[in-house]
Structure 1
Amino acid sequence: MKQFFLKLFTWWNGQTFGTQLWTWRFGELVGKDEQGNLYYRTIGGKIDPTLGFERRWVVYNGYAEATKVPPSWHGWLHHTVDVPPTQEAYTPREWEKPHVPNMTGTPLAYRPPGSTLASGRRPAATGDYKSWTPGS
């Protein structure tokens, strides 16, 4: 029962009941990325008369976080490229790093040394700073 209500009312966790119904009725699975996100388009690439192009969407694996979409799939979702990454033979360059989602706001966020949020202690002040006082 809990899962039913979560699917009905929470849009940020996977897909809602409406999205699941739309995907089942009109969606065609195009591929899956390394993070488990599923990518769909309208069946047969049919052009939506309202939009003038085919609909493309993603069903996130877990919480809906846009930075979980790798650059290759982002280009396909936004109609920058017509061929999905599953249908092209792309080899990444040696200087390309693997995609990492944005971790800001999570416990895994980057906290440089000296940050008030970093673990440990801040470095001691060096004494080279002289504060401003009015009238001086």
Structure 2
Amino acid sequence: MWNFIVQTFTWWNGQTMGTRFATWRFGKRVGEDEFGNVYYEGGTSSYGLPKRWVIYKGYAEASAIPPGWHGWMHHRTDVPPSKENYAVKDWQKEHRANPTGSPQAYRPPGSLAVAGERPRVTGDYDAWTPGN
């Protein structure tokens, strides 16, 4: 029952009821990545390209798509990684979740979120005042 409620009222937690129906009706399973995300293809887009979509395992985080699957999803290649011997390149980094809004987020020097004293103004900026 809980899955039904979640799929009815949320889009960020797996798949919605509409996506479940469209996947059942038109989707052809293409493969699965190491994170448990499942990839589908079916139908044709308005550009004449095959429609491709992913059903995330858990929270829908677009940055959780590995590089090989990202290329396939964006029509950079027609062969999905599940049908070829895709090997991660040595220059590719491991996936890291998007840290925005978390303590691990980037905070530049001078940000109000950084502890400590802000750097002094250097004089290269003149504040606007009315009438000048």
Regarding TM over 0.5, the answer is yes
Per mean C-alpha deviation after superposition, the further-off stretch among 107-116 and 10-19 is: 107-116
Q: Which residue of 2 is the match for residue 13 of structure 1?
A: 13
Q: Which residue of 1 is the match for residue 130 of structure 2?
A: none
Q: Which amino acid aligns with 1:100?
A: R
1:35 shift after superposition: 1.6
Indicate conservation of the 8 Å contact 1:114/1:122, yes or no: no
Q: Which amino acid aligns with 1:62?
A: G
Q: Which residue of 1 is the match for residue 79 of structure 2?
A: 83
Distance 2:30 2:62 in 1: 18
Q: Structure 2: which 5+ runs fail to align? A: 127-132
Distance 1:49 1:109 in 2: 36
Q: Name the count of aligned residue pairs.
A: 127
The SS at the match of 2:15 is coil
Aligned pairs (5 A) from 1:98-113? 98-110=94-106
1:49 shift after superposition: 6.9
Q: Deviations over 1:92-120 (max 9, x none)?
A: 333332232322123443568986646xx
Match of 1:55 among 51, 54, 63: 51
Q: Structure 1: which 5+ runs fail to align? A: none
Q: Taking structure 1 as the reference length, what is the TM-score of the superposition?
A: 0.71
Identity of aligned pairs, percent?
Answer: 51
Aligned pairs (5 A) from 1:1-136? 1-42=1-42, 48=44, 50-110=46-106, 117=113, 122=116
CA distance 1:31–1:108, change in 2 (3 Å): farther
Q: Taking structure 2 as the reference length, what is the TM-score of the superposition?
A: 0.73
The SS at the match of 1:83 is coil
The SS at the match of 1:30 is strand
C-alpha RMSD over aligned residues:
2.9
Distance 1:96 1:2 in 2: 38
1:22 shift after superposition: 1.0
